[in-house]
Every structure is written in C-alpha cells, then in structure tokens.
Chain A
Amino acid sequence: MQAERGQHHRSVEVLASKLRRRQIVGSRTAALETLVVLRQVVSRARFSNFEQLVEIIRGVGRRLVEAQPKEHSVGNTVRKVLHHIREEYQTAVGQTGPQAGTSTSGFSISKFVLQGQPRRHVPAQKTEVKTTLKEDDPEDPDSFSKGLKPVLMEAIQDVLDELETVYDNVSKNARDHIHPDEIILTLGRSKTVETFLKTAAHNRHYTVIVAETGPSYDGREMAKSLSSAGISTFLVPDSSIFSLMSRVNKVILGAHVILANGGMFAITGSLIAATAAKAHSTPVVVCAGQFKLTPLWNLYHEYGAVDFGNPSDVLGFNEGELVNKVDVVNPYYDYVAPEFIDAYITNDGDHPPSSIYRLLKETYDDEDNEL
C-alpha cells in the first residue's frame, strides 16, 4: 500500500504545496481541486478490500489538511467523498443495514442517537459480499477494485456536480427570502451571496447596502458587480454599519466555515455587522454551500483560527518608522457565534443554527471527523 500511495504522491503533493503557499484560496476552489485530486487517486488506486480504499483516501485527506489546516473545505470534501463511497459500496454489495431505513425517513432524537453510533455492518459484510463483489480475493486481488471503481467514480462525480451547482442551488429560493423594497446589508465579496442577490433581483426590486469591508475592500468589487446587474446598490464605509442598521431589513452574510455549534467564520467585519444587527433585532441570514459545514465544535478557541494575515494591508511597508513600533493584527476572519445568526441558507435547504449539528450527522460519517 505504501507503493500505491507513492504513485499519487505527486498530484497530492502539488496540491498540498499550492494550498500551503496560498496559491489556491477560497473554499470552493479548494474543494474542487481536492475532488480532482481524489478522483485521480481513486482511479489509480489498487486495493483489494474496502478498508484499504478508505485508508488511501484518508491518507490523502490527512496530507492535504495538514498542509493547510485553515482551508476546512478540503477536509470536508474528503469526508463527503468517504460518506458517498460508503453509501455506494453498501448498495453495490446489496447490504441493508439499519441506516438504509433511517436515511430516507425523517429525523427524530431517538433515531439520531441510533445514527450517532458507529456502523456495525463491517463484520457482517463478509458473508454477503460474495454474491457481487469479492474482497481479498487471493486469485485476483484486483477484481474487487475493478468491480467497485465505476461506482466510486460515480460517487465522486456526484460530489463534484453538487459543488458545481452549489451557487444555483443556494439561490434557488432567493425570492422567498428577499421581499419587495427591502433594504439588505451585506459585506465582503462572497460568490454565494453575490449569486443569491442577483437571482433574487430577477423577481424582486430591492436595495443593497454593501460595506467596504476593510482591509481587503472586497465590498467595493461586490458593489460594482451588483450595481452592474441592475440592483440599486450603496457602498458605505464600515464605520457606518451601525448607524445604518436601523434602516436595514436583513443582513445577508457569506461564510468561510460553518461549525457544528451553529457558529461560523466569515470575513472580518461580519461580527460587527452581526452585533449591530442583534442590537437592532435585524435578522442575520448566512448563505453558504454545504461543503462549508465542518464537524468541529470549538475551533474558535484556537487563536490562530481567524487566520492572521499580512500587516501590509493595514499599514504600508513604506511607513518605515511605524513598522518598528507598531504591532499590527490583521485577522482575515471573524468568528460569529450562533446566537447572532438566524438562519443558514444552504443548497440543502434552510436551517437554523441549532440544527447544524444534525445536518453534519447527515452529511458525514462520524468516524471521519478525525481524518
């Protein structure tokens, strides 16, 4: 198996170093790249039983996550792929476990407890597998992988399709969230939020206030893009977020990571906006793809999690005398606690922060939380 991993080493290592060097940034791009690499790895992988396959994929996941722990969508994508592969595998071997029943019907607390338990099918499998796929076949060790591969590719393709349509799916109910003549406040330049607002503009006439969002000033780009789509747009400095909040009907934010507790990491300034919204009882809605769901509860305990960037965005390097005397703290993200958020709009429906944990259970397998 060591040798097998060596084969994919290169594409994995290239992605790992790109992630490290921040040549690939943005949750969706990272997720897409991860999928492409995973597809390569799986298509070339040689394994004679299912555990080996899972171990190979996990190995890749570990390597990538280790390279850039702050790009959580990478780990999430790997988890998602593992989840899908397990499902496909089970259908392929024709197994009907307790999960088959629960996953289709609705959730309840009692079933949740049941689902939270580790899968028990593994020892039972061996007897049933023989009908279609044979694991650990001593005569033809490749037969298992040959039989399973088309299914695996399909599973990965499903995840890829989901990622590629994520913006549209998040936006499909946009008109239900934005009402005529509302004033919406947003900040930063989230592709999801941008598509969401533009889609809503097809049916609704409303106004968007975009905060500049220093120090990246992504808001300027956002405002340009929105107004070119025919939406009436105001660009305001970050300092006026609070004073304008009384006029705002809804705050729509993008997210970097959605945590299991219902909180999220989003671009710097989101916390200010969310706090101001709380003070004015203005609803805060977060638009995000499902791939941002991360099975972590207390990431915000970690100081470095907000990703401290380069001080040069805030203080010019040419301010020679100041550079020596001033410590600049330039976090890229804010942690927004669940109590500030009213709803998450995802490609998998709308959810309150309090049910994010359930969504997570549905999306990933518990055993993959630690890759």
Chain B
Amino acid sequence: MASKNAASGKEKLIDEEQEILQAVVLADSWNRRFRPLTTKKPRCLLPICNAPLLDWTFESLALAGVQEVFVICRSYSEQIKDAIKKSKWSRTGSGMKIVPIMTAKETYSAGDAMRDIYTRGLVTGDFILVQGDLVSNIQIDEVVRVHKERRKTNKDAILTMVVKEAGVQHRTRSRGDSPIFVVDSETSECLHYEPSFAFPKKQHANIPREVLAEHKEVEIRYDLIDCGIDVCSFEVPSLFQDNFDYLDMRRDFVHGVLTSDLLMKNIHVFVAKDGYAARVQDTRSYESISKDILSRWTFPLVPDDNYPGSERYQHTGGNQYVAKTHPATISRTAKIGRNTLIGASTRIHDNAEIIASVIGPNCTIGAGSVIENAYIFEGTTVGAECRVTRSIVGSGVEIRDGSTVERGSLIGDGVVIGPGAKLKPFERLSVPWKAPASTAGSDEDEDEDSDIEDIEASQDTVDKASLGPESNAIVWIDKPPEDDDLDSPENYNNLKYMRLGEDDVTLDVHHSDKDTESVVSEEQQLQDSSDEEDNYDDHTDAESVVSLSKDTQGGLMADKEFRSEVNQSLERAFAEGHSVDNAAVELKTLRMASNVPLIRVKEAVVAAIVEKIPVLEGAAEQRTEVNKTIARWGQLINKIGGVDPVETISLLQRHISTSARMSLFGQILAAFYQSDVVEEDDIRAWHSLSTSQGIDLPLGEERENMGKAWIVGALMIHQLDQQSDSEEEESDEDEEASD
C-alpha cells in the first residue's frame, strides 16, 4: 500500500488530502436472472470471457487507483471469500486491499447491504459503490475528483452516478430496466429519475412541473446505460439507515432523494464520454458484454492485454483469441469465426465450427459440431454433430452426439443431455438438487432450496423425451408466478426481455400465448419504440395536465381534515412561538402525509395568518398589529415551498372576501409588501389577472368584496406609480379607500 501511495503521490498533492480511495462492491445481485447457472455459485463468480466477473470488477477498480475494497457478499459468501483469497489480488504488490464482508442472509436488497455498511462503519470518506458484475475501463478517479470538487461548494451533493451514452438501440443497454434521466445540462444535476421497464411498458414519463420551471435547460435522456457506478459521500449509508424502506439503489434511493422535500440533497450524473462501463445484469447483457470485450471496447481490459484471468491469449485476425500458455488443440479443418475466444487446453475436432463464441478451458468440441454465439464454461464436452446456438452452457456439462441446443437455453453445471437431445428455445436445465446437496452446503439459502424443490416436484408433468435417453437433467418450467409484482423489473414478462437470445422477432412468436392482451400492447410499443423519443414531449405535456386535475380532486377530498390539521399546527406555532423554519418543516411533513398539493397548504397558511390578526378599534393600533403579525409570520408563506407571490395575493384576496377582516385587505397587502413577501411587480401581475376582479363569481357578497379588494389593489398600484415615499400616507389612503 505504501508504494501505491508513493506512486500516486502526484495526484494526491492536487487533492491536498491524504485520503485513501475506498470502494464497496455489492457481490450479490438480489435477483435470479441467471438461474439455474447460479444455483451452486454466486453470479459474480460466473466467468465472462473465461475470467470470473468479480475479477473484471476488481480490475476496473484498480484502474481507478482504488486502494481498499470491501466486498459485501451474501449468497455463497464462502466461495467468494475463497476466490478472493486465491486470486492475484491477495498477493503483495497488487496495490489493492480486498476485504470480504459477510453479511446476514436477511440482507434482501442493496438497501439492506447499505444499512449493513453503515452499522459496521466501513467507510470513512467518499467511496465508490459498484456492483459485483461490473466491466469497466472508465477512469473512476476522474469522477471522484469531480465529485469532491462539487462537494466543496455544495455540501448537499451526496451522490454522482456514472452513466454512459449509448443510443436507444445499443446492444449493451438493458431493455428490461432502462430508466429515464432528467438532467440539468449546466450543473449535470439529476433532477428526476424515472424507472422504466420493457413490461409493463410506460407510455409516458411523469416529469414534475417544478423541474421544468426551475431550470433553464434540462435534458431528458433515454439513451444512457446506467453503469451502476456511484461515487457516494459518507452520508449515503446513513440515509439508507434513516429510510429503512429504501431497497433498490435507483428506484428507491435515487428516486426517493429526488422527490423528497425534506432531505434537500442533490444527486448528480456523470456522463462518461470516454471509456466503457456496463453491468452484467441479465443473460442478455452477458452476451453483449462478452461481445464488447471480444471486439475490444473494454481495451485495455481485453484477453490479450490487461486480462483479469491467469491465462494469456494470443490475438489474431478477426478478433480471435486463442490461449497461449496452454495452447488449445484445434483441428486443421475446424473453422474458427470472428470474435471468438478459445480457452486453455481445449480441443476442437475436425470440421467443427465456432462462430462468435466463448469456449472455456479444457472443453472438447466434437467433430462437425457448430457452436454459434454460445458461451461455454470450463470442462464441458460437446459431442459430434451437435448444434449450440445463443446459449450459456455451464461447466462440466456433457452434450452428447447429435444434440441441438436452441437459442436462449441455460444449462446448469454438470448436466448431461443427449444423445440426440432437442432442446426447445429458452429451455433451462440443471441437475437435481438432492444429489449434490451434501457437498454444496444446501442450508446456504433456505428459500432458494424451496424454489428448487418446487421445480423438482413438478418434474412429473414435464416431457423429458427431448432431453435424450442419457440425460440427468431437470427442467425449469417457465410459468408466470401467482404474485407478479408489476412495479418491479423482476416481473415475469419483463424478465423475458432480459433473456439471452430474446429479440423483437422472438417476442412476436409469443403473441400466440394466452396473455394476448398484454402482448398486443407490447407489440404496439415495440413498433413505436423507435420514435419514442420524438413523442416524449407530447406525452409529458398530456400527463402533466392529467396529474394536475387528479391532484386537485384528491386535494378537495382531504381538504377539510387537512385544513383543520394545518390550523392546529399553526395555532401551536403561534402559541408556542416556533421559528418560521420549524413551522415550515412541520407544514411540509403534514403536506406529505396527507398528500395534498402545495396550493392547499398555502391557502390554509394565508387564512390562518389573516385570522390571527386581531380586529381592533383604532386605525393606528390596527396597523401596528397587522404589521407585527405579518412581519413575524409572513415569510412562512414562502418558506413552505413553491414561491409564487401572485398566487399568494390571489389567495389572500379570496380568503378575505369571505372573512370578517375584509377591511384589512389593504393593510395586509401593504404589510406583505413591506416584509418582502410580495413585490411591486407581483401586485401588478395579480391586478392584471382577470380572475382578480371576481367577475366570474356568482353575484353576492363575495363578488362584491373581491371587486372592492381589486379596487384597493388598483389604488395601491396607483400610489406606487406616484412614487409616494412615505409608507404612512400609503396606508392612510388605503384605509380611506376601504372604508
């Protein structure tokens, strides 16, 4: 560590502080998209391009000069710990200290893991948070620098998310979980985060009006890959601790922080221009990231250069990589296509064809077999005349002669199929759980056990003839669960979009399924997904209108109850002499709790303040009383959020028209003006509003009073025009007018 410090000393000098860079790796995915490949090992130890995912992640962090890494492991934590111990990272001179942290089995989400980080007090300063499935060559230290720079001026900037520009149709961009970011173009502050899944497909995004109102220039972006790299300040874990319902890093934490009026924290986005970063979050991205690595987008993280695994590869034309230290044996008549990786000591027999695939070490590919876009792990044997297309095949699998593995299949470790097996597309196979249970520590995760038991129990109903006579496999049946949570990306239909080998054409095939209704809408969405961006503006416009009317309705219903709550709260504030800030916070909480729009709160506050002014006999005493009250409480109107003085005046006018304090309108308005609650321009703006005259109201006292108030306003403006310098005069005349 010491030498590393010395080596990066130059950068440190700029930072002025000798702080070691820490990173936290969440080595659990909290979902099951890779099953059954992950029944016996954690996802982060699955190989991608023949090196465990976790090693790619570490290499990505090492590139950024990270010195200390905490790996939060839950499932199969022993395996992860072992893997770290055996890896090159635990040798001296690796420059990185890696500490595996075992967390409880009750850690069900990223949020729980963050709370665990907080309780253990692992991090001391700003840190990098990544997922254990990251492949990146982005200079994260640059992001950290930007983050720290920002923190110097803005203490509320707690998080910087790294995203990569990719284009809507990019292969590496997840379709199942493709959020919309609303970003301030100038400060790159993230203003709004809208999760979006492939199913149920969103027709429009809800962007809060304030976002558009308060920022000069905003970017609404749907073309970003969320790299899952966050530069966090030390208070992030504590925020998780405070908000125990935050589960997901993005949908709960980011969304929560951005929508909260109470936290007042900012989240920023770093759009990476150079470099590559992506997460292996589903089998689909497994494929695309493998392809990205082989076509060198991750350079220098490529098999023939800074490769995280131990084997060295030779790079030849058409991005073919063949193991160098333990060379593979490839028959002269075998055809090796482009973008292919062939592992150490693998044997490829006559006339076999390997196209755009990754073959692990110690594999055997039989004569005449065709392997296309497939990912085969260590020690697997494929017999003669087989065909494997767009699938992931685990380690130690035997695919016997003449078998066909159709696209999208996942074959778990140790499965034997064939000879002559014909798998259907998207078939998922594994060995029965019971057999290896004694060795693999089955008590690791009970609910995962029960999951497998279910699958095993339903084996009788499955026709296994297609698996071949010598097969030992059990079939994972693809059926929608009873309790499908559409708000989660893990819902049944959405998961389909994350599968390897699933493309638009495939989804058309599914139209014959029983869930026609949803599928029809899927189809429509696929068609207009290309011009989606163009339509965005329309959608948001339409939606903002809808949401407004909805809000008003909801507000009216809770109005009465809310009104009395506000009054009680204010009475308490008045009586106990709270500070304006405290009262404002209390009102905000109240508003959130009863979910009413801002205008209701304002209305209530204006009313309460007006009613607080005692009615007195003498004009002078009355004026003092008005000024005193407004000076003390006037600012509260603006503190509760959404400063809009014109609205304030309108509310005051409307309230006072039905109140016993009608005569005080002029004085109150003047007092507002005095205490800077409203400005001269606001009074003019209010006055010029058509509604201010109250003409559209039914005839009666209210309309009459509205009119009177309007005239008072007119007079006041008139006086302001005359530049009357004395406040005395002004209010005197006001009084005359209102009398």
Binding site for B on A (CB under 8 A): 6, 9-14, 17-18, 20-23, 70, 303-304, 308-312, 317-321, 323-324, 327-328, 330
Q: Is B378 an interface residue (CB 8 A)?
A: no
B317–A319 touching, CB < 8 Å: no
State how many angstroms separate the Cβ of B226 from the closest Cβ of chain A.
15
- In whole angstroms, how far apart are the Cα atoms of A82 and B683 in the complex? 88
**Residues on A with beta carbons closer than 8 Å to the beta carbon of B549:** none
Most chain A beta carbons < 10 A, residue from B223, B276, B306, B316: B306
A14–B95 touching, CB < 8 Å: yes
Among candidates B93, B171, B173, residue contacting A13 with C-beta atoms closer than 8 Å: B93
A320 with B300: in contact, given A11-B3, A303-B317 (CB under 8 Å)?
no
B223–A20 touching, CB < 8 Å: no
A317–B165 touching, CB < 8 Å: yes
A13 with B306: in contact, given A309-B296, A320-B169, A320-B173 (CB under 8 Å)?
no
**Residues on B with beta carbons closer than 8 Å to the beta carbon of A22:** 300, 305-306
A9–B92 touching, CB < 8 Å: yes
A10–B93 touching, CB < 8 Å: yes
A304–B315 touching, CB < 8 Å: yes
- The 9 lowest CB-CB distance pairs between A and B, nearest first, are A13-B93, A320-B167, A320-B170, A304-B315, A310-B299, A320-B169, A10-B93, A20-B306, A318-B165
State how many angstroms separate the Cβ of A141 from the closest Cβ of chain B.
25
A14 with B3: in contact, given A304-B314, A320-B169, A320-B173 (CB under 8 Å)?
yes
A12–B276 touching, CB < 8 Å: no
State how many angstroms separate the Cβ of B66 from the closest Cβ of chain A.
12
Q: Can you name 8 extra interface pairs (CB under 8 A) apart from A14-B7, A312-B274, A317-B170?
A: A10-B3, A310-B297, A317-B165, A317-B297, A318-B170, A320-B169, A323-B297, A324-B171
Among candidates B62, B171, B276, B316, residue contacting A303 with C-beta atoms closer than 8 Å: B316
- Which residue of chain B lies nearest to A332 when distances are taken between CB atoms in the complex? B299
- Which residue of chain B lies nearest to A17 when distances are taken between CB atoms in the complex? B95
A14 with B296: in contact, given A304-B316, A320-B168, A327-B339 (CB under 8 Å)?
no
**Residues on A with beta carbons closer than 8 Å to the beta carbon of B297:** 310-312, 317, 323
**Residues on B with beta carbons closer than 8 Å to the beta carbon of A312:** 274, 276, 297
Q: Is B166 an interface residue (CB 8 A)?
A: yes
B167–A311 touching, CB < 8 Å: no
**Residues on B with beta carbons closer than 8 Å to the beta carbon of A13:** 91-95
- In whole angstroms, how far apart are the Cα atoms of A26 and B459 in the complex? 61
**Residues on B with beta carbons closer than 8 Å to the beta carbon of A18:** 7
Give the secondary structure class of B's interface. loop
- Which residue of chain A lies nearest to B300 when distances are taken between CB atoms in the complex? A22
22 pairs from A and B in contact (CB 8 Å cutoff): A6-B92, A11-B3, A11-B93, A13-B94, A14-B95, A23-B63, A70-B305, A308-B299, A310-B296, A310-B298, A310-B299, A311-B297, A317-B166, A317-B297, A320-B168, A320-B173, A323-B172, A323-B297, A324-B171, A324-B291, A327-B295, A327-B319
- In whole angstroms, how far apart are the Cα atoms of A304 and B166 in the complex? 28
State how many angstroms separate the Cβ of A334 from the closest Cβ of chain B.
16
- Interface flags for B309-340 (1: CB within 8 Å of A; 0: not) read 00000111111000000000000000000110
- In whole angstroms, how far apart are the Cα atoms of A320 and B276 in the complex? 13
- In whole angstroms, how far apart are the Cα atoms of A330 and B172 in the complex? 21
Q: Is B4 an interface residue (CB 8 A)?
A: yes
Q: Is B279 an interface residue (CB 8 A)?
A: no
A303–B93 touching, CB < 8 Å: no
Classify chain B's interface size: 35 or more
A308 with B7: in contact, given A303-B315, A327-B318 (CB under 8 Å)?
no
State how many angstroms separate the Cβ of B138 from the closest Cβ of chain A.
11
**Residues on A with beta carbons closer than 8 Å to the beta carbon of B400:** none
State how many angstroms separate the Cβ of B649 from the closest Cβ of chain A.
49
Q: Is B347 an interface residue (CB 8 A)?
A: no
A317 with B304: in contact, given A14-B93, A311-B297 (CB under 8 Å)?
no
- Which residue of chain A lies nearest to B320 when distances are taken between CB atoms in the complex? A303
Among candidates A311, A318, A321, residue contacting B295 with C-beta atoms closer than 8 Å: A311
Q: Is B164 an interface residue (CB 8 A)?
A: yes
A21–B62 touching, CB < 8 Å: yes
B167–A321 touching, CB < 8 Å: yes
A318–B167 touching, CB < 8 Å: yes
State how many angstroms separate the Cβ of A120 from the closest Cβ of chain B.
35
Give the contacts of B285-301 with A (CB-CB under 8 A): 291, 295-300
B296–A311 touching, CB < 8 Å: yes
**Residues on B with beta carbons closer than 8 Å to the beta carbon of A9:** 92-93
- Interface flags for B209-223 (1: CB within 8 Å of A; 0: not) read 000000000000001
State how many angstroms separate the Cβ of B562 from the closest Cβ of chain A.
48
- Which residue of chain A lies nearest to B168 when distances are taken between CB atoms in the complex? A320
**Residues on A with beta carbons closer than 8 Å to the beta carbon of B305:** 20, 22, 70
State how many angstroms separate the Cβ of B540 from the closest Cβ of chain A.
23
- In whole angstroms, how far apart are the Cα atoms of A20 and B314 in the complex? 15
A17–B62 touching, CB < 8 Å: yes
- Which residue of chain B lies nearest to A18 when distances are taken between CB atoms in the complex? B7
Most chain B beta carbons < 10 A, residue from A13, A14, A17, A303: A17
- In whole angstroms, how far apart are the Cα atoms of A289 and B256 in the complex? 59
A21 with B296: in contact, given A13-B94, A318-B165, A321-B167 (CB under 8 Å)?
no
- In whole angstroms, how far apart are the Cα atoms of A324 and B291 in the complex? 9
- In whole angstroms, how far apart are the Cα atoms of A304 and B300 in the complex? 13
- Which residue of chain B lies nearest to A11 when distances are taken between CB atoms in the complex? B3
State how many angstroms separate the Cβ of B98 from the closest Cβ of chain A.
14
**Residues on A with beta carbons closer than 8 Å to the beta carbon of B295:** 311, 327-328
A323 with B171: in contact, given A304-B315, A309-B296 (CB under 8 Å)?
yes
B299–A309 touching, CB < 8 Å: yes
- In whole angstroms, how far apart are the Cα atoms of A249 and B93 in the complex? 51
A317 with B93: in contact, given A304-B314, A310-B297, A323-B170 (CB under 8 Å)?
no
B4–A14 touching, CB < 8 Å: yes
**Residues on B with beta carbons closer than 8 Å to the beta carbon of A328:** 295
**Residues on B with beta carbons closer than 8 Å to the beta carbon of A12:** 93
- Which residue of chain A lies nearest to B171 when distances are taken between CB atoms in the complex? A324
- Interface flags for B193-234 (1: CB within 8 Å of A; 0: not) read 000000000000000000000000000000100000000000
**Residues on A with beta carbons closer than 8 Å to the beta carbon of B173:** 320
